Chains A and B, each alone.
Chain A
Amino acid sequence: MLFRTLAKPDFKALVERILASTEVIGPKRVGTDRHGRPIHHYLPVESFDEIDLDYETTEFSAKTYFLPYKENLCSYRFQDDDWRQEIRYRIQPRAIIGLHACDIHALIKLDKALARDFFPSPYYISRRKNTFVVGIDHDPCEGGFCRSLGTDTATHGFDLFLTDLGERYFVAIGSDRGFRALSGLPAAEITEQDTEDYLRVRKRIAAGFKTEINVQNLPNLLDIEFESPVWEKWGGKCLSCGSCAMVCPTCYCYGVSERVSMDFASGAKTKQLYSCNLIDFAVVAGGHNFRPNRQTRLKYRYYHQHRGFMEAYDEPKCVGCNRCGRTCLAGINPVEVIRDLQAEDET
């Protein structure tokens, strides 16, 4: 990997340069929660100053820019008794500034599920390849357990990755596109001092993690504890609202529906992100529901995160951002659910 340092005003110049021609998404402060903590969202910005790179976390992940909550898969034009299908992929370039390492890992996981091996999705690939990703290091967010999942640092999946060294950024260059973006800017070769400062910051960050869980035995444990009372306990509280999957950076399941325009001249096939916690996730014609109760549905969310994905890709699907825990009105959070499962196993 190539590394450079970049003075902060020069990074601002880079973002302004991107803004001149391209849509830029960044963490934007949109309000304050009831505990007085700032609320951030990844939103389009008009100027560099709207971006708050010191943010702790965002309520929603940035997946909507890769997997929109609603996306047109194709349109139909009807004429006489016939129809034609039209498909368009989004190809406008876009830049996302300020993703944390966990969210970059989420993209890497989505790459595996959606862009490789079998039936790669052109919708996803097109958005992913047209998005310039700038990551940034940060101190652990409250409740985040990314370190336990090995997603607290990123070595690929981005174009540039910044670490704040005070007056300057330590910049990891992850792609040719990232390299070119820096051209013309006074990015300096790194010195021994830079490396030292960088490692010190990394150490500080690593020392800041308060939440830890052991995920090593989870795939096996989930199998053994399939009938565990833990699912009664936590699943019994679940409101089946689906918020956890909506905010999760790696949840990608969806449903498809179609509609026809008022004049019957056209129709659209739309994909909408779904959640395995929603009651009709597995309902089939005739009304049979393969997962009629919320305990089972909640269990399957964990099952996919920590066993299904593991079997397919040798890694869990969860990146430990704790957005699901933060958003859940029923107070269900992954760290406690997993700890409970492990406690159950030990008794």
Chain B
Amino acid sequence: MKQLFYPFDISLESEMKEPLDFNRRSRTKDVDRVFRAEITNVIRLTEMEKLFQVRIMDDAERQRFTFLPGQFLMLELPGYGEIPISISSAPTNKGFLELCIRRAGTVTGALHKARRGARVGLRGPFGTHFPMEKMKGNNVLLIAGGLGLAPLRAPIFHVIQNRSDYRNVHIFYGTGSPEQLLFDYQYDEWRRIDDIEMEVIVERPDPNWKGPVGLITKLLDHVEINPRETYAIVCGPPIMFKFVCARLSDLGVPMQRMFVSLERRMHCGMGKCCRCNVGSTFTCMDGPVFDYWSVMNLKEAI
């Protein structure tokens, strides 16, 4: 008897055969296929954080990989699990990526034991980004607390590489204590760049500490900027960006020009698992980067 139904083999569809590109969101693709990537260097930053330099192994895939500052990846450790991690490198580096990872549990714990040469999987980039284009011609405040410097590095690198596009640039960074400071070897370099103000503050200084002491908001007391021509990117724990944004708002910066990055549990990065739901949206799709006015309007965002 003639066959009633023919199997529909989705992997034979033309869209499925296109090179894997997560930026082309509407195309049907192997959404759970990972880019194979190799850890090329592990850089110890603090007790808790390491910077992993990884390289997408396939040349063509590495060249094709593009992202915008603020976007994140799903990092896969086969057999252990998959976790969302911000991209902490310059967008121009394409598939040579830097990921700054805090030891926090199963996957990050295993990763902290991984060595140079180990292979991981990457999917992405996912999520929204900081509006670097729109910020052109304006003053830029780049503010981070704690691990927030990880997602802030991509916009910092972008601003540095395109310094002439922006007016005054300030980088403010704060942590609890001096030994928690991330990327301390880079501050000098950033400070030497013409017209980049960088200030670092800690809450609990040690005897060697010479810089300012207090909460990050204190650094905002002395900035001289025209708030109407200023954009701010604020990365850190909710309690931190809440206070910083409130302060900026007092200074007159419109909330639509302050950008923060939200963190939620994530199992897909593609608006499918619903785990990152906040208000009526998904953090992985409409975020993680939101302008602060949207955050104020989202239910239970902070």
A residues in contact (CB < 8 Å) with B: 17-18, 20-22, 73-74, 76, 78, 81-83, 85, 87, 89, 91-93, 95, 113-114, 117-122, 125-126, 129-130, 132, 177, 180-181, 223, 226, 252-260, 267, 269, 274, 276, 281-286, 290-291, 296, 300, 303-304, 307-308, 310-312
- B272 near A21: Cβ-Cβ < 8 Å: no
Residue B34, interface by CB 8 Å: yes
5 pairs of A and B residues whose beta carbons are closest in the complex:
A253-B274, A119-B270, A285-B104, A93-B5, A308-B280
Residues on A with beta carbons closer than 8 Å to the beta carbon of B267: 254-256
> Beyond A78-B78, A256-B82: 15 further Cβ-contacts under 8 Å?
A22-B4, A73-B32, A74-B33, A85-B33, A93-B4, A95-B5, A118-B271, A129-B8, A256-B273, A260-B79, A267-B78, A269-B32, A269-B76, A276-B274, A281-B275
Residues on A with beta carbons closer than 8 Å to the beta carbon of B117: 81
Q: Is the interface of A mostly helix, strand, loop or mixed?
A: mixed
| Of B5, B76, B299, the contact of A226 (CB 8 Å cutoff) | B299
Can you name 12 A-B residue pairings with CB atoms under 8 Å?
A20-B1, A21-B4, A85-B121, A93-B5, A118-B285, A129-B10, A260-B79, A267-B78, A274-B273, A274-B275, A285-B104, A304-B274
Residues on B with beta carbons closer than 8 Å to the beta carbon of A259: 79
How close is B185's CB to chain A, nearest CB, in angstroms? 26
Task: Convert B1-40 into 0s and 1s, putting 1 for each residue whose CB lies closer than 8 angstroms to a CB of A.
Answer: 1011111111100001000000001111111111010000
| Of A122, A256, A269, the contact of B29 (CB 8 Å cutoff) | A122
| Of B6, B30, B280, B299, the contact of A93 (CB 8 Å cutoff) | B6
Total of A-B residue pairs, C-beta within 8 Å: 162
Residues on B with beta carbons closer than 8 Å to the beta carbon of A180: 4
| Of A76, A303, A312, the contact of B78 (CB 8 Å cutoff) | A76
| Of A74, A290, A310, the contact of B32 (CB 8 Å cutoff) | A74
- A256 near B268: Cβ-Cβ < 8 Å: yes
In the complex, residue of chain B having the shortest beta-carbon distance to the beta carbon of A226: B299
- B7 near A91: Cβ-Cβ < 8 Å: yes
- A81 near B118: Cβ-Cβ < 8 Å: yes
- B79 near A267: Cβ-Cβ < 8 Å: yes
- B8 near A126: Cβ-Cβ < 8 Å: yes
